[in-house]
A and B are shown apart, each in its own frame.
Chain A
Amino acid sequence: MKRFWRYLLKKDLGARWLEGFRYAVFGLGDSGYQKYNFAAKKIDRRILQLGAEPIVEIGLGDDQHPSGYEGALDPWLLSLWKSLNQANPSLLPRISDIINPNLNNLGDAKIDVIYYSSDDAPQDSIVSDSKKLIERARSISPALKFHKDGEPQYMLKMVTNQRLTNEGSDRDVRHFELEDPSSAISYQVGDALEILPSQNPSAVNAFIERCNLDPDCYITIRAKGGDQGSKGSTVNGLTDRIKLKTFVALAMDVASASPRRYFFEVMSYFATAEHEKERLQYFASPEGRDDLYQYNQKESRTVLEVLEEFPSVRMPFEWLVQLTPPLKKRAFSISSSPLTHQNRIHLTVSIVSWLTPFKRTRHGLCSTWLAGLSPNEEILIPCWIHKGSLPPPHPSVPLVLIGPGTGCAPFRAFIEERAAQSVTELTAHVLFFFGCRNEDSDFLYKDFWLNHAQDKGVLSLKEGGGFFVAFSRDQPQKVYVQHKIKEQSERVWNMLCSGAAVYVAGSSTKMPADVTAALEEVVREKGGEAASGWLRKLERAGKFNIETW
């Protein structure tokens, strides 16, 4: 996408480059953010500038709208269909169905599921090789195949599982250390580790039972009408088939992610109890959108819960495969440097749990699973390295790092690395701004930062560094990292003038905006009005990096 957008920005394309090209844009945005729907607006303007013709006005979905993005999507879609129909009626032969949906007419699923008897089951070692099973499941899943994940790069063992916040804190943040027993792990600071979590086996079993599936049969999945060769072919050996239970466990998220509105619509076709059918049709309709939002999204309803609450629904497996949210990998910033820990990866993970409006406790699938792993258990964690989430800094570049809470993870890696480098070469200064709620309860890695801030450490004053902490709840007024930044505006200014790169990481949506505003204030105060656009330029030059989750 980056390359696509960069190409569109080229000056030499001219105002006629997209002449004759017709397009429509719908943006999925959230007006809670500063940059509300900027991507959609920019793309729309630029494509227009290049000579293209919009067939409908831009649609701007807003999560803050009472009905979420669908509030804007429904009318936009209607105008889209009408416009397309006007331009070329043969495009939409069933337009009347769209304008007046008749919920009694469901077409076919987009995929076929092919079942094999146990005679056709693969007997080779692939069955027990978890890496290969993961690859296979994810390459036949219609939602995941185009991600081309491949096999996990590493199957890691957890060797350390340590709680960083003290027992009194309502936040449970863990320090994990993962190791590959057989080989070295190749990674860089700034990389993230993508983990595929395991689902609770009883949830997977409950799902299979509820849907009347045979867990032990072998299946494969083909796109309908695709050119995938003849069905049931053994051309590839038996490498395209997998046990149904394994496929569900590895590729279908049954007990964590929420289904979407269309899932409810399709359910309504397969409901035999009248009150269930009605209710599902209501949820799928524009009138029921708000109630669906309350019941489903706000409650974080899982696929299994929804199916159990509508017991008369008998959805064929094809539809379940197509509509169940795929099991997603979760990415975590790596908090160690390969220079200091050659064979290990450290992670700093906040265990996610929350209370829904109806007072149900929900837990994050991956963080909870990791928290429950004992060190040196035989359970292996499927991992991929996601390179360069934050571009690693060269040792000669001064750094201003801002990472409250778990945002400190990648910067622990940066600082470890710079400390190791400073032994053999000249390294530039580092300023680190950290923030947490209370010094006593969630001051993550306190000893680590303080060690590096003493004597001739990378964060010590002697070495031109700095370590500043904001404890937000230790006093009546809130003190956050942005306040610390303004307190240290002289030092921050000096760093910026010496060519520092700025990195911001953390888990809040407001923090980056607040930090950016504080930096802009520093720049304006010390550098004059003319300096306002400077931070934006720094961002475009790749020296102002923000990563939030």
Chain B
Amino acid sequence: MAAAALAVTDELALPLRAVGDLAAAAGISREEVVVITQCATLGGKLPFDDASVGAVLSVIKKAESFGDQLVAEVSRVLKAGGIVLVQSFTPSSEQKPNNYIERQLLMGGFVEVQTSATSSQDSVQSVTIKAKKPSWSMGSSFPLKKATKALPKIQIDDDDELIDEDSLLTAEDLKKPQLPVVGDCEVGAAKKACKNCTCGRAEAEQKVEKLELTAEQINNPVSSCGSCGLGDAFRCSTCPYRGLAPFKLGEKVSLSDNFLSADI
């Protein structure tokens, strides 16, 4: 048997008004409520299928009636996420019954247990305790979120206004150009060292030609081509005087310090 709502009471007689109030509190029209009285005498089961009832409204006179078995039954017949409303009447002097009911609900596996404000009628206090059956069913599982961090999303202010400039380049553009192959023997050919060479190529380029100057060549420079004295602009690539200042043929050549110190 299924129902939108089930009203359960330990009393023999239950006024419709009470049912109506609770139904309203549960958001259900009272026409849909099935009422069971004298629940304490049921001897166990409520005549309903598992998870067949949307809400259980119970009006309890004696707190003890809300025992473990009743609580278990209420839980059984309730659909996942269904609510239970328990209204109990206590003489104003007693506090305990509310706590008892709350604890019963908690122990019975209900969540979001809330006790609402009390209302007094004829020196008797009534308290409505609301609880919910958890929305997960038994045996269900879901994976825990991994504890990995995620990269923050980056807010680029004018992302919307501007196109992505990297999209302007094709795969072809990203390739390096084919350089003409030139004999690598000479300085100044093919691949040159970068301006800020740190890998050592620049130094290697510098070492390409190491020309020795004899003492004779320093003291009495002669030049078969006639250009050696004119300066680097005119000297051949093999000129021993390359790197020196211009000089007059026959006069002693002044050397810069570099030529006298050993190369590393």
Q: How far is the CA of A361 from the CA of B233 in the complex (A)?
A: 18
Q: Mark A501-526, 1 if CB is under 8 A from B, else 0.
A: 00000011110000000000001000
8 Å CB contact of A508 from B182, B187, B198, B206: B198
- Pick from B9-17, B35-43, B162-170, B216-224 the stretch touching chain A: B162-170
Q: Which residue of A lies closest to B259 (CB)?
A: A359
Q: B191: CB under 8 A from chain A?
A: yes
What is the CB-to-nearest-CB distance from A435 to chain B, in angstroms, rounded to a whole number? 11
Q: B243: CB under 8 A from chain A?
A: yes
Instruction: Flag if A358 contacts B165 (CB, 8 Å).
Output: no
Q: Mark B138-162, 1 if CB is under 8 A from A, else 0.
A: 0000000000011110111110111
Q: A392: CB under 8 A from chain B?
A: no
Residues of A within 8 A of B117 (CB): none
Residues of A within 8 A of B151 (CB): 496-497, 523, 527, 531, 534
Q: Which residue of B lies closest to A30 (CB)?
A: B194
Which range holds the interface residue count of chain B?
35 or more
Which range holds the interface residue count of chain A?
35 or more
Instruction: Flag if A309 contacts B232 (CB, 8 Å).
Output: yes
Instruction: Flag if A60 contacts B177 (CB, 8 Å).
Output: yes
Instruction: Flag if A31 contacts B256 (CB, 8 Å).
Output: no
When A497-B149, A510-B198 are in contact, do A64 and B161 touch as well, CB less than 8 Å?
Answer: no
Total residue contacts A-B, CB cutoff 8 A: 131
Q: B196: CB under 8 A from chain A?
A: yes
What is the CB-to-nearest-CB distance from A312 to chain B, in angstroms, rounded to a whole number? 11
Instruction: Flag if B205 contacts A537 (CB, 8 Å).
Output: no
8 Å CB contact of B258 from A295, A355, A493, A527: A355
Q: Mark A143-173, 1 if CB is under 8 A from B, else 0.
A: 0000000000000000000000000000000
Residues of A within 8 A of B195 (CB): 63, 509
8 Å CB contact of A541 from B155, B190, B198, B259: B155
8 Å CB contact of A10 from B156, B162, B173, B259: B162
Q: How far is the CA of A308 from the CA of B246 in the complex (A)?
A: 9
When A64-B179, A298-B187 are in contact, do A360 and B154 touch as well, CB less than 8 Å?
Answer: no
Residues of B78-98 at the interface with A, using a CB-CB cut-off of 8 Å, are none
Instruction: Flag if A42 contacts B168 (CB, 8 Å).
Output: yes
Q: B215: CB under 8 A from chain A?
A: no
Instruction: Flag if A540 contacts B156 (CB, 8 Å).
Output: yes
Chain B residues touching A, majority SS: loop
Instruction: Flag if B161 contacts A11 (CB, 8 Å).
Output: yes
Instruction: Flag if B188 contacts A290 (CB, 8 Å).
Output: yes
Q: A181: CB under 8 A from chain B?
A: no
Instruction: Flag if A493 contacts B149 (CB, 8 Å).
Output: yes
When A360-B243, A496-B151 are in contact, do A65 and B176 touch as well, CB less than 8 Å?
Answer: no
When A523-B151, A527-B151, A537-B156 are in contact, do A361 and B188 touch as well, CB less than 8 Å?
Answer: no
Residues of A within 8 A of B168 (CB): 41-42, 45-46, 49
Q: A81: CB under 8 A from chain B?
A: no
Q: How far is the CA of A543 from the CA of B176 in the complex (A)?
A: 28
Q: How far is the CA of A510 from the CA of B197 in the complex (A)?
A: 9
Residues of A within 8 A of B163 (CB): 9-11
Instruction: Flag if A31 contacts B179 (CB, 8 Å).
Output: yes
Instruction: Flag if B177 contacts A294 (CB, 8 Å).
Output: no
Residues of B224-264 at the interface with A, using a CB-CB cut-off of 8 Å, are 230-234, 237, 242-243, 246, 256-259
Instruction: Flag if B196 contacts A509 (CB, 8 Å).
Output: yes
Instruction: Flag if B156 contacts A541 (CB, 8 Å).
Output: yes
Residues of A within 8 A of B199 (CB): 510
What is the CB-to-nearest-CB distance from A121 to chain B, in angstroms, rounded to a whole number? 37
Q: How far is the CA of A494 from the CA of B259 in the complex (A)?
A: 55
Q: How far is the CA of A151 from the CA of B99 in the complex (A)?
A: 84
Q: How far is the CA of A522 from the CA of B4 in the complex (A)?
A: 57
Instruction: Flag if A6 contacts B162 (CB, 8 Å).
Output: yes
Residues of A within 8 A of B208 (CB): 357
Q: A388: CB under 8 A from chain B?
A: no
Residues of A312-344 at the interface with B, using a CB-CB cut-off of 8 Å, are none
Q: How far is the CA of A494 from the CA of B179 in the complex (A)?
A: 43
When A9-B163, A42-B168 are in contact, do A507 and B196 touch as well, CB less than 8 Å?
Answer: yes
Q: How far is the CA of A62 from the CA of B187 in the complex (A)?
A: 17
When A36-B177, A66-B182, A355-B206 are in contact, do A275 and B234 touch as well, CB less than 8 Å?
Answer: yes
What is the CB-to-nearest-CB distance from A11 to chain B, in angstroms, rounded to a whole number? 6
A binding-site residues for B, Cβ under 8 Å: 5-6, 9-12, 30-32, 36, 38, 41-42, 45-46, 49, 60, 62-66, 275, 279, 283, 290, 293-295, 298-299, 306, 308-310, 354-361, 493-494, 496-499, 507-510, 523, 527, 531, 534, 536-538, 540-541, 543
The contact sample of 15 A-B pairs, CB cut-off 8 A, is A5-B165, A11-B160, A32-B194, A42-B169, A66-B188, A66-B190, A309-B246, A357-B205, A357-B208, A497-B149, A497-B152, A498-B152, A507-B196, A508-B196, A531-B151
Q: Which 8 A-B pairs have the closest CB atoms?
A: A358-B243, A309-B231, A497-B149, A9-B162, A45-B168, A537-B154, A294-B188, A32-B194
Known: A6-B158, A31-B177. 17 other contacts (CB 8 A): A9-B165, A10-B163, A11-B161, A36-B176, A63-B192, A275-B230, A294-B237, A298-B187, A308-B246, A355-B206, A357-B208, A359-B258, A360-B256, A497-B152, A509-B194, A509-B196, A527-B151
